[in-house]
Structure 1
Amino acid sequence: MITFAESQLVAWLSPLLWPFLRVLAVFSVAPLFSMRAVPARARIGLAFFVALSAQAVLADQPVVALNGPGALGAVAQQVAVGLAIGFAVRLVFAAVEMAGEVIGLQMGLNFAAFFDPTSNAQVSAVARFYGYLSMLLFVVINGHLMVLMAVVESFQRFPTDGNFLQALAQMRLYEMGGALFTSALWMALPMIALLLFVNLTLGIISRVAPQMNIYAVGFPVTLSVGLLGIAATLPMLEQPVLKLFQQAFDTLGIQF
């Protein structure tokens, strides 16, 4: 009769269970993986497959007993680190969408808002367009692979038997808040300058020709120039997004 000791079962399950929990936490928050179109069973199966495939790289991970005093802390740490990685990636998309909000405000298109079921909030058309564009760019630049690499590399900085509170202090997620507004403003700055010039021009025209109805002329002109400006500045969106991804992973202390 074949028998297994408890220590053997722990040695087999521990290297697979903790990476599985961390990857599953990332998939529950990170963009593209956390979409409602992705079933929960698919996320669980993909997380298990990623954890199983990473065993060759995570061969030297410490073994944490499932019924020991450190098991609860290990579970909390895996979930916290996974959620932090997914949240940092989501902040990149939030910065791009905020840039779209600012551009839409300057164009006068913020009244064209609709309910977004994915975020359960009112989102303007320009912000939603930038959000979809950032999602496509995320796939094109292999951002999903970068997220998986970040999860695997996070075990070097945050091992499974590490201190939970110390891991939270090392993540420095609060720095991403300031970077969110700064990056959104920098991405929207060319459009802000262009539309400001258009508004100044329309203001001068209204003073030179008062008989012209500037309200009837200004909106089509601003909208047309804004759409042309968006088409001209979209090819320049790749580098800021890549820099934001790198900054997000650097804030977490994850190096590729």
Structure 2
Amino acid sequence: MGELLTLPGAAWVAGVLLVATRLAALLLMTPVLHAMPLPPTVRLLLVIGVSAVLALPLGTQTAAVADVAALFDAMLRELAIGATLGLGVLMAFAGFTLAGRLLDVQVGFGIAQVFDPVTRSQVPVLTSALSLAGVVLFFLANGHHALLRGVAWSLQRFPVGQPWSLQQAAGPVLQQAAGLFTLGFALAAPVVLSLLLMEFALGVLARNLPQANMLVLGIPVKVVVGLLALSLWAGSMGEVSSRIHGQLLAGWSAIFEGGR
């Protein structure tokens, strides 16, 4: 089996396989392709095609992969790199999910479940809506172009088949996870504040009208106020969304610098 990797062009084929492993692990960890109903064959061809283009400048950089055992070991490293980069993208999209979960609990939509094609599970209404909105904003901001540039940059910083430090890359990932909660709450903060003021108003009303059933009255009022506040705040979500995408790029930059 080792003689196969010494044939002409075998280094390029090995490079395509390693790049495809990194790219596939990255895309499996992100909801970018999951949000689109693409057949598995199309996704496989897309990964192989992009990997073949990215592997063209590699030349003979994968010539050190001399046998199948070394190739398998290199594939495991590429899988770890792709999963680490994909985790950064996943946490960026999780900021929208966190905001949706918070709003569903406050508005009262937590009892309503719909099918989310991104996670393939039953999720509340606003969580599903904000998750899909995050994917739409990602493409509108040319995030898919930045994603491909990040993959190409990772090939320069971490050449295929070469060792890299997972321990040093863990710090930036944890830092990005910590910032996720701040940005997720900032995405829903104005709506939560409006609902809090409405709760105070309902408390004053219940104090002065004890005969009123606040449970029956409060649920529709919270739904109306929450949706109204969300519709007014939707036009200003772009700035927070840009910060979330900027945190993704900053996290990748820290991983590239710290994982050397």
Return the TM-score normalized by structure 1: 0.85
Identity across matched positions, percent: 25
Aligned equivalents of 2:155 and 2:86: distance in 1?
15
| Matched residue, 2:89 | 89
| Matched residue, 1:154 | 154
| Matched residue, 1:49 | 49
Aligned equivalents of 1:16 and 1:106: distance in 2?
48
Alignment size in residue pairs: 251
Assess if the C-alpha contact under 8 Å between 1:77 and 1:167 holds in 2. Answer: no
- Equivalent AA in structure 2 for residue 143 of structure 1: G
| Matched residue, 2:212 | 212
Offset of 1:66 from its aligned partner? 4.7
Offset of 1:111 from its aligned partner? 0.9
| Matched residue, 2:242 | 242
Assess if the C-alpha contact under 8 Å between 1:96 and 1:131 holds in 2. Answer: yes
- Equivalent AA in structure 1 for residue 230 of structure 2: I
C-alpha RMSD of matched pairs (Å):
2.6
Assess if the C-alpha contact under 8 Å between 1:95 and 1:183 holds in 2. Answer: yes
* Ranges in structure 1 where 5+ consecutive residues have no aligned partner: none
Q: Show CA shifts across 1:71-100 (max 9, x none).
A: 233111211111222222122221111111
* Ranges in structure 2 where 5+ consecutive residues have no aligned partner: none
Structure-2 change in CA distance of 1:147 and 1:5 (3 Å) = closer
Tell me whether 1:203 sits opposite 2:208 in the alignment.
Answer: no
Structure-2 change in CA distance of 1:52 and 1:233 (3 Å) = same
Offset of 1:35 from its aligned partner? 4.8
Instruction: Give the helix-richer structure, 1 or 2.
Output: 2
Offset of 1:160 from its aligned partner? 1.6
Assess if the C-alpha contact under 8 Å between 1:170 and 1:252 holds in 2. Answer: no
Assess if the C-alpha contact under 8 Å between 2:65 and 2:161 holds in 1. Answer: no
Equivalent positions of 1:165-180 (< 5 A) are 166-167=165-166, 169-171=168-170, 172-180=172-180
Offset of 1:125 from its aligned partner? 0.8
Aligned equivalents of 1:51 and 1:212: distance in 2?
65
SS of 2:122's equivalent? strand
Aligned equivalents of 1:159 and 1:12: distance in 2?
13
Structure-2 change in CA distance of 1:66 and 1:244 (3 Å) = farther
Equivalent positions of 1:15-164 (< 5 A) are 15-35=15-35, 37-55=37-55, 58=58, 61-67=61-67, 70-116=70-116, 118-164=118-164
- Equivalent AA in structure 1 for residue 32 of structure 2: L
Assess if the C-alpha contact under 8 Å between 1:24 and 1:43 holds in 2. Answer: no
Q: Show CA shifts across 1:217-241 (max 9, x none).
A: 3222211111111111112222222
SS of 2:93's equivalent? helix
Structure-2 change in CA distance of 1:206 and 1:6 (3 Å) = same
Structure-2 change in CA distance of 1:140 and 1:209 (3 Å) = same
SS of 1:173's equivalent? helix
Return the TM-score normalized by structure 2: 0.84
